[in-house]
């Protein structure tokens, strides 16, 4: 399978391409970006680095999308200091509409992995603009679940690799951590109220601390680790259950909205939805979050 990365010169696109290229399960990765000199620099440098894996790294444009089974969309306006990822909406809207027109014209059959913020809003918008089956549109929310497990490991001292569980909801400030479903070594993980409070503080404060550095840099390494996991699930048709922003049309009582839920991922995108049962409090939080997202979507002219 071949993959195209739109935004391949940027930190998120290039690091994700590198992680996937190292593993060798892709035949070719095509990097596409308006920064032609930088993306061609990545092609030369990355191509040498991943050469032993057998994955070819090449420079491409939208006319080269036709034979790609995966499109990774990481294009965005330059990073700036924001309090909430929603602030990227109007900046990135200028990019997403013309990009979707080019994708639709050149590559109608791929699985699209969207990592442009705000991910959940754009996931729904991209689905509307492309008119594809919703199973083909996967929004990258994996960092939320990853950071939940990271925080649980820090607070409890448990090995990260043994911790299971999911974070659902809107990427960023609208996450819902499913503490009652968490496991360690396959067994139920009971967390105290004090531990949960510490975990909430760690997960909520991460983005604030990250943004306060005013580095002009997005989360590259952590995002690449999680995006690569999603790419591999599609490329190998693994059926692995991962957190993705997914367009819902009645599932779990939510309609015409996209947010992070556990889904089984394969070569055609979403194989199945694997949402666990929710408590009344968890469902209420999701209803509040999705209500706010719908109002935002309604204000956008497509």
Residue 102, pLDDT > 60, answer yes
Supply the pLDDT for residue 11: 93
Q: Rounded to an integer, what distance in angstroms lies between the CA atom of residue 251 and that of residue 236?
A: 26
CB 31 within 8 A of CB 14: yes
Supply the pLDDT for residue 92: 85
Closest by Cα among 87, 105, 96 to 128: 96
Closest by Cα among 294, 267, 262 to 278: 262
Q: What is the mean pLDDT of residues 160-171?
A: 94
Say which residue, 87 or 169, is predicted with more confidence.
169
Give the model confidence (pLDDT) of 227-257 as tens digits: 999 999 999 999 999 999 999 999 888 999 9
Q: Half-sphere exposure (CA, 13 Å, Cβ side) for 143?
A: 23
Supply the pLDDT for residue 206: 81
Give the model confidence (pLDDT) of 46-66 as tens digits: 999 999 999 999 999 999 999
Q: What is the dihedral of CA 277, 240, 199, 280, to 10 degrees?
A: -10
Neighbours of 245 (CB within 10 A): 31
String of b and e for 187-219 (b: at least 16 CB within 10 Å)?
A: eebebeeebeebbeebbeebbeeebeeeeeebb
Extract the tokens encoding 258: 């996209």
Q: Rounded to an integer, what distance in angstroms lies between the CA atom of residue 271 and that of residue 251?
A: 14
Supply the pLDDT for residue 276: 86
Q: Residue holding tokens 């993980």?
A: 189
Q: What is the mean pLDDT of residues 89-100?
A: 87
Residue 78, pLDDT > 70, answer no
Residue 84, pLDDT > 70, answer no
Q: What is the mean pLDDT of residues 65-93?
A: 78
Supply the pLDDT for residue 80: 55
Give the model confidence (pLDDT) of 187-219 as tens digits: 999 999 999 999 999 988 887 787 788 777 777
Burial class, 90, CB count within 10 angstroms (exposed 0-12 / middle 13-18 / buried 19+): exposed
Supply the pLDDT for residue 204: 84
Average pLDDT score, the chain: 92
Supply the pLDDT for residue 79: 58
Q: Rounded to an integer, what distance in angstroms lies between the CA atom of residue 152 and that of residue 162?
A: 11
Q: Is 165 left (phi over 0), alpha (psi -120 to 50) or beta?
A: left
Extract the tokens encoding 235: 């490329």
Neighbours of 66 (CB within 10 A): 13
Closest by Cα among 32, 36, 110 to 74: 32
Residue 6, pLDDT > 80, answer yes
CB 31 within 8 A of CB 3: no
Give the model confidence (pLDDT) of 167-188 as tens digits: 999 987 789 999 999 999 999 9
Contacts of 254 (CB under 8 A, 6+ apart): 248, 286, 290
Residue 250 is classified by DSSP as S
By percentage, how much of the chain surpasses pLDDT 90?
78
Confidence of residue 299 (pLDDT cuts 50, 70, 90): confident
CB 165 within 8 A of CB 182: yes
Q: What is the mean pLDDT of residues 3-11?
A: 96
Q: Rounded to an integer, what distance in angstroms lies between the CA atom of residue 231 and that of residue 92?
A: 23
């Amino acid at each position: 399978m071949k993959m195209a990365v739109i935004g391949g010169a940027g930190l998120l696109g290039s690091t994700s391409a590198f992680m996937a290229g190292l593993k060798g399960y892709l035949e070719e990765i095509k990097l596409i970006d308006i920064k032609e000199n930088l993306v061609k620099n990545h092609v030369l440098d990355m191509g040498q680095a991943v050469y032993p894996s057998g994955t070819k790294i090449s420079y491409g444009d939208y006319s080269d999308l036709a034979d790609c089974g995966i499109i990774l969309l990481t294009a965005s306006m330059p990073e700036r200091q924001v309090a909430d990822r929603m602030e990227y909406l109007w900046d990135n809207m200028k990019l997403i509409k013309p990009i979707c027109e080019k994708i639709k014209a050149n590559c109608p059959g791929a699985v699209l992995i969207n990592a442009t913020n705000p991910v959940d809003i754009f996931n729904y918008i991209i689905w509307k603009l492309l008119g594809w089956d919703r199973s083909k549109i996967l929004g990258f929310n994996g960092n939320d679940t990853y950071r939940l497990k990271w925080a649980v490991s820090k607070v409890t001292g448990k090995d990260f690799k043994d911790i299971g569980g999911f974070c659902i909801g809107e990427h960023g400030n609208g996450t819902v951590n499913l503490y009652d479903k968490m496991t360690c070594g396959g067994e139920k993980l009971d967390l105290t109220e004090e531990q949960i409070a510490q975990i909430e503080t760690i997960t909520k404060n991460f983005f604030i601390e990250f943004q306060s550095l005013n580095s002009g840099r997005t989360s590259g390494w952590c995002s690449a680790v999680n995006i690569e996991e999603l790419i591999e699930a599609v490329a190998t048709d693994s059926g692995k259950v991962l957190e993705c922003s997914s367009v819902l049309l009645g599932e779990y009582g939510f309609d015409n909205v996209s947010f992070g839920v556990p889904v089984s991922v394969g070569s055609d995108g979403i194989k199945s939805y694997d949402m666990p049962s929710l408590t009344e409090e968890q469902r209420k939080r999701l209803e509040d979050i999705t209500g706010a997202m719908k109002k935002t979507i309604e204000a956008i002219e497509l």
